[in-house]
Amino acid sequence: MTLGSPDTHGHTTSVQLGETSIPLDWQKITPFSTDTRGGQYSLILAGKSYQVFARPLPPVQGKEGQGYEIFLAGQRFEVFVEDERTSLLAGLVRTRTTHSSANIQAPMPGLVVNVLVQPGDTVTQNQTVVVLEAMKMENDLPAPTTGTVKEVRVSKGQTVDQGEVLVTIADVAV
What domains does the chain contain, in order, with CATH numbers? 2-81 (no CATH), 100-170 (2.40.50.100)
Q: 3-state class of 86 per DSSP?
A: helix
Please state, as a whole number, how many other Cβ atoms lie within 10 Å of the Cβ of residue 147.
Answer: 23
Q: Is 89 helix (H, G, I), strand (E, B) or coil?
A: helix
Cβ–Cβ under 8 Å, residues 143 and 127: yes
Model pLDDT, residue 111: 93
pLDDT attached to residue 66: 80
Determine contact, residues 26/13, Cβ cutoff 8 Å: no
> What residues have CB less than 8 Å from 5, skipping those under 6 apart?
12, 13, 14
Instruction: Count CB neighbours of 125 within 10 A.
Output: 14
Residues 6+ apart with CB under 8 A from 64: 82, 83, 86, 90
Which parts of the chain sit beneath pLDDT 70? Answer: 1-12, 31-37, 62-63, 83-99, 172-174
Per DSSP, 37 falls in state: T
d(CA 92, CA 107): 21
Q: State the pLDDT at residue 50.
A: 84
